[in-house]
Chain A
Amino acid sequence: MRQILDSLLLVLALALVWQGLYWLAGDLALASPAQTFARAAELLATPSFWRHASETFLALGYALLIAVTAGMGIGLALGMHRLSGEVAEPVLVSLYSLPKITLYPVILLLFGLGISAKIALGVIHGIIPIIIFSMGAVRAIAPVYFKTARVLRLSRGQLVRTVIVPAAIPELVSGLRVGFSLTLLGVLIGEMFASQRGLGYLVMKSIGTLDVPTMMAVIVMLALVAVLISSLLLYLDHRLHRRAL
């Protein structure tokens, strides 16, 4: 209850700041909250908006699927094999801090302008933090769990399925949370610069035609969805970490 009230207050405060900025910056750069929500309502009623939205979420879905399965697989393997993990970690960290936009021309050459380029861009944004978190998750597992597994004579497969994965789940969810935001970012960037479809494209197009309300409406809706999914994952994250104590 307290939390809901707090969130409502936060939303109200944001709306006020927004309205204030609108008065300062004027019509050319910003739309007011009222204009934005009116435009959002219109958009939600148009089929073409839904085509763009489904394109974006389809790309996001594929990108997440690839980033999560490959990322967790690689991360768990590196975590279990200490030496390769130690070699890979600095490489991954520097790749992570590399601005992914520099890989952009390469991606376009490889994948063209279709949905696969967006997916690829989403994956390269999201996969590295997922690998790093998963690797850390395995390393943080209490050594006594591994000893217990050896005393109970578990096979390698049993060790992974019944000890490593469940023990790592709280950290894996943290990785998923960070990975999700970055994958979404990657997909949207892909849509903004080389696509004729998707919400990212819609934002770019409305900037081009100085259609500020549409731009703002799409951004706000995207932000809402992203915040919603993130908070769900955060909630799950907290619950899992509390239980692990």
Chain B
Amino acid sequence: MAASVVKMSADRSVSTPMLHAEMTGVTRIYAAKGKTPGVHALGPVDLALRQGEFFSVVGPSGCGKSTLLDVLAGLSSPTEGKVVFEGAPVTGSVPPGIGVVFQENAAFPWLSVKDNIAFGLRREGTDPAEVERRVGYALGFMGLEDFAAAYPSQLSGGMRQRVCIARTLVMQPRLILLDEPFGALDAQTRLLMGDELLKLWRETGATVMLITHALDEAAMLSDRIAVMSARPGRIMEELETGWPKERDSRIASEDHFGQITSRLWKRLREESIKATARGGA
């Protein structure tokens, strides 16, 4: 299964880059409820994810990044515009092949680490031997072997996030959406987690969209980066990093890395000021 995914993306990337997912003219307005007024959270946004790329989205807090993810995944319907995944429109439900790691801790406290990771596979009725194999691999990959029997309440925030990544990974999604997965971690640990994310991306051949507020993270990990405006979030700029596929956190010491981060920061500074002035932070 994993092999076929890798192969598929390799085949498709021969010609011009294939589109994997696409949003056109997407806006999302949260309806007014009782005394709370409606919120125009997102858009209009046009976004195209290429098959197999590592795409990052940076933007000031509260600008609609999580909303963008929800709409792209089919967890929330766009107020206007449309979303397409692998050539089919996304409407009302999450299409198979998409995996999501949420911003909030989503590890189930009543299940051990191992059972959390196996959760999706078991619901799908995957053969137990296969579940065992994939979960064992994911435990190793995420460095969780020693915690297989532990419960989420016994883990640090970063470890819990790894459990959620592993739970997504074992489903072998072709598009992985990650919403600030390392938000709670210190800067050094975050860079190392970034390395693991790159490894995961290369090994699975999946398309990755990472939402982050850390510019260095985006600059180091991505093929392309979108910069969002303050709410209502629109995409102000998309830039291509030009990194080779084989890369890791060591590129953080290169000049080009500095150039990318400073360019991102130039675009983002004003928007962050706007967001903060509005009490978005």
Contacts and interface: CB of A to CB of B under 8 A. Distances in A.
Contact of B108 (A147, A158, A166, A242): A166
Interface size class of A (residues with CB under 8 A): 20 to 34
Interface string A156-193: 00100011001101000000000000000000000000
Contacts of A148: 100, 102, 106
Given A147-B75, A152-B120, A167 B108 contact: yes
Question: What interface size band does chain B fall in?
Answer: 20 to 34
B189 interface: no
Nearest to A148: B106
A244 interface: yes
Contacts of B98: 151
A151 B94 contact: yes
Contacts of B123: 152, 154, 158, 162
B73 A151 contact: yes
B120 A147 contact: no
A158 B105 CA distance: 21
A163 B73 CA distance: 20
Q: Which of B73, B100, B102, B123 is the most central at the interface, judged by chain A CB atoms within 10 Å of its CB?
A: B123
B94 A150 contact: yes
A144 B109 contact: no
A163 B100 contact: no
A153 interface: yes
Contacts of A91: none
A243 B102 contact: no
B89 interface: no
A38 B137 CA distance: 66
Interface in A194-238: none
Candidate in A148, A242, A245 with the most chain B CB atoms within 10 angstroms: A148
- Which DSSP category, helix, strand, loop or mixed, fits chain A's interface? helix
A245 B94 contact: no
A147 B102 contact: yes
B157 to A, nearest CB: 12
A153 B108 contact: no
A68 to B, nearest CB: 20
A150 B151 contact: no
Contact of B75 (A150, A162, A167): A150
Contact of B93 (A144, A150, A244, A245): A150
Interface in B102-127: 102, 104-106, 108-111, 119-120, 123
Contacts of A245: 109, 153
Contact of B110 (A144, A151, A158, A243): A243
B232 interface: no
A243 B108 contact: no
B153 A244 contact: yes
Contact of B106 (A147, A158, A169, A244): A147
A166 B152 CA distance: 15
B171 interface: yes
A144 B105 contact: yes
Contacts of B105: 144
Given A153-B94, A245-B153, A163 B102 contact: no
A151 B99 contact: yes
A83 interface: no
Interface in A134-155: 142, 144-145, 147-148, 150-154
B25 interface: no
B96 interface: yes
A127 to B, nearest CB: 26
Closest 4 A-B residue pairs measured CB to CB?
A152-B120, A144-B104, A166-B110, A144-B106
Given A145-B108, A150-B75, A166-B110, 4 more contacts: A151-B75, A163-B108, A243-B151, A245-B109
28 contacts: A142-B106, A144-B102, A144-B104, A145-B108, A147-B70, A147-B75, A147-B100, A147-B102, A148-B100, A150-B75, A150-B93, A150-B94, A151-B73, A152-B120, A152-B123, A153-B93, A154-B123, A162-B123, A163-B108, A166-B108, A169-B110, A242-B153, A243-B109, A243-B153, A244-B109, A244-B110, A244-B153, A245-B153
